[in-house]
Structure 1
């Protein structure tokens, strides 16, 4: 067997006794594909940024809860229509200035927690009215008006149990939020523990009433117990109602007064972040992949075909794969026999066996079994098969040589 030295350019694919260098260059993606990939990444980042800005900039809807114009479950349109049926005029406003201008001695100011306003603006708005109804259980309003504090609620309905005449015919209500009234504040719809569902106070000639309206006066709860009667007792005592709905557009809260993130962080944070960014960019430039087509270079190695053959043989022996080894030996024998018998390299096993039988004057059946029979299952059977195939090749060589030497 000859040894062929083959320098490898990119990869060596050994085949039997020879090694063929592979000169096929790797397929490189075009510039257009890379550009499209970067465009997709940039578009994805822009989309994420715009979506984040939308969530940050969007204001929560403050008009749904106890909005007198909302027919939803949390709105108060049913209560507003019920009050209008009693001949009371309701003016809905979303401006505190408009609400203050619309208030007079015959008007009731109705509002939920005005958390779009500062304490000063909320106090100024309520000072414009002689009668104020707060449909909220906000701890901020309890503190601001000094009405009391939250109290645990007990299960079950409660009656008015107070001397205020407008609540005499309300009946019972099932309140979700209860309050402990402060000194000078009268509590109605009290529990045995002293907690009340409605607080009434007179502050500087103004009457202020507080109740948790989201559970009692919303559209989906107005028909329960005496909730509707409670709404009329609160809102139908005067000829006009000015209902203020807070919005962020009417807010007087300034964002410039609070401390920013830069004010709250140490002074060394910004230089450290800048230094880390510079280090990251330097690392990317230093270790990052260079753009451009790949260049195929010859490797300074020489791979001997015999080494590949011996390596495969050792692997086959280590695996104890006699059938595979027999298939390789038979393939080599068939290739050499076809060449010596002047047959096509694609000749089948029966064709080669017939040609060899004609030259050697031996039964075809025995050659069929030798060249294409079942594979051996042990090393001894493999050795015997290899010996018989070697004898067959020698016999064919002798027969062909004899024919050529005949005159």
Structure 2
């Protein structure tokens, strides 16, 4: 054995340990981020997301109608945008904001649209309105005088709500409503609807959802789309993270578990030298292996796999006959054979790829067709009387 072989073996061993340590660090980092960092599903109802639950499509529609959409990803940015212009505030549920902060933010806007209403926001901004049940997602007529809802005609419904005092309900389902709206003394309004059933990229094209979205969101020339951030919470009012809720012994236990895993890997993963290649006591001839596999296929009555083996070998020979590469897909091999023979492509593809035998008789017939096809190609490539 050369001197370089042990060196290569040591390098491979060292790289293996490095990969193990890096993998454990990555697992620890990801686990720590989930436990102590919190997690938010940003793509849902996000105005810059093109996913099924994003809302970029409605933002593009608003911009095509001449509206300016400002995406604010924290409260301060939303307040600055609202102070600069007479705007419509669009916002998801913001549990990190206090009631007073939520009211103050809404008062800065001309119109407020809650696209993910929750009980607290409905109670604070819509006169003690409450959440209700869920509809079956079918389209419902507006059946109200609110201009945006009336112009939409019918729209999809999802989460339902119960209106409070002086709150108008639209799209009724069993006494509850899919949209609530109330006028404010300053001439503005507050509207709540289930954005997941109306505003997302996947639901916007359905029924009158697009008309309803434009009517509700496009009431002013500027739309401020506020995406709440956990950092918006006032000091001491932020909701606790999973790390805050876990007992203090969890972190030492995790560290101890990682250390024990590393120790076990070092203990059980040691190797006392290079691997030794053992000679096989018996050499099996290829034809015996082939016959053995054939008996297995026959006993399992698996004509499909048996034909696949025959096709694989036949295609390999046809590839060499036609001068194709070994990586040529089976369908392209079939097309090349059909072109060479001037035959129907679908028939050749059936022989080489598609036909599925169900009985032994079908298997024998398919094997005969393979043999005849291969003989025809060989005759076309090497005409009688020529040699290579």
Using the size of structure 1 for normalisation, the TM-score is 0.50
Question: 1:100/1:261 Cα in 2 relative to 1: closer, same or farther (>3 Å)?
Answer: closer
Query: Which of the residues 32, 36, 44 maps onto 1:56?
Result: 32
**Partner residue, 1:242:** 224
Tell whether 2:125 aligns with 1:119: no
- Counterpart mapping for 1:202-281 below 5 A: 202=183, 205=186, 206-248=188-230, 250-252=231-233, 254=235
- Counterpart mapping for 1:1-400 below 5 A: 44=20, 47-57=23-33, 59-104=38-83, 106-115=86-95, 117-120=96-99, 121-145=101-125, 146-154=128-136, 156-191=138-173, 193-202=174-183, 205=186, 206-248=188-230, 250-252=231-233, 254=235
Question: 1:47/1:240 Cα in 2 relative to 1: closer, same or farther (>3 Å)?
Answer: same
Question: 1:119/1:150 Cα in 2 relative to 1: closer, same or farther (>3 Å)?
Answer: farther
Matched-pair contact (CA < 8 Å) for 1:139–1:150: no
SS of 2:224 mapped into structure 1? strand
Matched-pair contact (CA < 8 Å) for 1:62–1:246: no
CA shift for structure 1 position 76: 1.1
Matched-pair contact (CA < 8 Å) for 1:137–1:177: no
Alpha-carbon distance between aligned partners in 1 of 2:218 and 2:203, rounded to the nearest angstrom: 19
Q: Aligned Cα RMSD in Å?
A: 4.6
SS of 2:80 mapped into structure 1? helix
SS of 2:139 mapped into structure 1? coil
Deviations 1:119-161 (A, max 9, x none): 2443332232131001113334234433222224256321111
> How many residue pairs end up in the alignment?
255
Structure 1, unmatched stretches of 5+, are 1-35, 271-407
Deviations 1:362-398 (A, max 9, x none): xxxxxxxxxxxxxxxxxxxxxxxxxxxxxxxxxxxxx
Matched-pair contact (CA < 8 Å) for 1:62–1:247: no
SS of 1:238 mapped into structure 2? coil
Question: 1:47/1:227 Cα in 2 relative to 1: closer, same or farther (>3 Å)?
Answer: same
Deviations 1:188-231 (A, max 9, x none): 1112x221000112456452101001121111111100000000
Question: 1:137/1:258 Cα in 2 relative to 1: closer, same or farther (>3 Å)?
Answer: closer
Alpha-carbon distance between aligned partners in 1 of 2:66 and 2:243, rounded to the nearest angstrom: 54
Structure 2, unmatched stretches of 5+, are 1-11, 253-388
The structure with the largest alpha-carbon Rg is 1
CA shift for structure 1 position 42: 9.9
Using the size of structure 2 for normalisation, the TM-score is 0.52
